[in-house]
Amino acid sequence: MPTRSTSSEKGQIAKIAVVGAGLVGRAWAIVFARAGFDVTLWDGDERAIASSLEVIQARLEDLAKVGLVSDVQQVIRQIRPTSSLESALADAHYVQENLPEILDVKRAIHAELDALAPANAIVASSTSSIPASAFTESLKGRTRCLVAHPVNPPYLIPLVELCGAPWTAPDIVTRTRALLERAGQVPITIARELHGFVLNRLQGALVNEAFRLVEDGYVSPEDLDKTIAHGLGLRWSFMGPFETIDLNAPGGVRDYCERYGALYYDIARQQADPRRWSGVVDLIEAERRKTLPAEKLAERQTWRDRRLMALAAHKKAMEGDEEE
């Protein structure tokens, strides 16, 4: 279970450079500063830098209301925004890059990071879709580069997917994992490069079946959503699918596989027809807009963020109880 580090437990790695002060970069700054690390927050856009602490403070105040941050001003003091990349990287032990998902942008910034960051610094990218090999191959320091893909927002959803390029030093992955655990996150390690990493492949498997069931007329989009939100999704908010099936047969996971393996193989065979979503997107868009008109999307996103925050507070309380 994740625990928050305090400054006194920081150990060797203490200085974090967050590159890019958009939504993802600001969220990473909150994660690291909340854990007691010193954070520099860089952006090429002076306006983004000028407004960053104000935006971060508003998020921190929301978190403080539900007990996910204890001292807002203390966290703010850990973050130093700057528009000088040299200054942001000076003395950094770990760099988290968050620029747009465009290959040329990634290549250009990683060339700069490689030139400017201290030789022993780890350089991680938040990219969700570009493998590290695509933007680090020609770098002198390519063995210290990897992907550390967060879920939005990482201060509420702690999972981080770590995935190196073929040349990434194993020790870099190990050290990043330890660092992120000290920051209160839950890192996982992907052994080699993989399209969509793990989280989006799992989401894709389920969502593709959801589209298929609606396209074939078995269930409405609204009822399909209820199946997860009031059924299957409950256990998965605190334990994974293997633990779920391990606890769902008297003799554990092997027993479960013997009982239900044939059923799930049959289902897999019925799901082996890859389909594009284009055949059914009109229907789902129409149903969603009946449930939630377009002009209410932003309001519902605020609702989702409030629910996520309350759930994070609930989980923290439950996991605190278990550690006692």
According to CB under 8 A, which residues from 181 to 200 bind its own copies? Answer: 186, 188-192, 194-196, 198-200
User: Which residues in the 194-253 window bind its own copies by CB under 8 A?
Assistant: 194-196, 198-210, 213, 217-221, 223-243, 245-247, 251-253
Phi, psi of 182 (to 5 degrees): -65, -25
Half-sphere exposure of 318 (CA within 13 A, CB side): 10
Contacts of 210 (CB under 8 A, 6+ apart): 224
The type of residue at 21 is A
The least CB distance from residue 169 to its own copies, in Å, is 19
* CA dihedral sign, ordered 268, 270, 274, 277: negative
Among the residue ranges 36-44, 63-71, 109-117, 310-318, the one whose residues contact its own copies (CB under 8 A): 310-318
CB neighbours of residue 82 within 10 Å? 17
65 lies in the site for its own copies, by CB under 8 A:
no
User: Which residues in the 94-133 window bind its own copies by CB under 8 A?
Assistant: 129
Q: 123: which DSSP letter?
A: E
Contacts of 274 (CB under 8 A, 6+ apart): 208
290 lies in the site for its own copies, by CB under 8 A:
no
The least CB distance from residue 160 to its own copies, in Å, is 9
DSSP 125-157: E--SSS-THHHHTT-TTGGGEEEEEE-SSTTT-
Among the residue ranges 41-49, 67-75, 117-125, 296-304, the one whose residues contact its own copies (CB under 8 A): 296-304
Torsion of CA 315, 194, 152, 60, to 10 degrees: 80
Per-residue string for binding with its own copies, 160-179, x by CB under 8 A?
A: -x------------------
Nearest residue to 175 (alpha-carbon basis) of 202, 201, 145: 145
Phi, psi of 290 (to 5 degrees): -70, -40
The least CB distance from residue 110 to its own copies, in Å, is 22
Among the residue ranges 74-82, 106-114, 132-140, 302-310, the one whose residues contact its own copies (CB under 8 A): 302-310
Nearer to its own copies, 25 or 221 (CB): 221
Per-residue string for binding with its own copies, 247-286, x by CB under 8 A?
A: x---xxxx--x---x-xxxxxxxxxxxxxxxx--xx-xx-
310 lies in the site for its own copies, by CB under 8 A:
yes
User: Which residues in the 142-161 window bind its own copies by CB under 8 A?
Assistant: 151, 156-159, 161
301 lies in the site for its own copies, by CB under 8 A:
yes
Tokens representing residue 128 in the block: 């969700």
295 lies in the site for its own copies, by CB under 8 A:
no
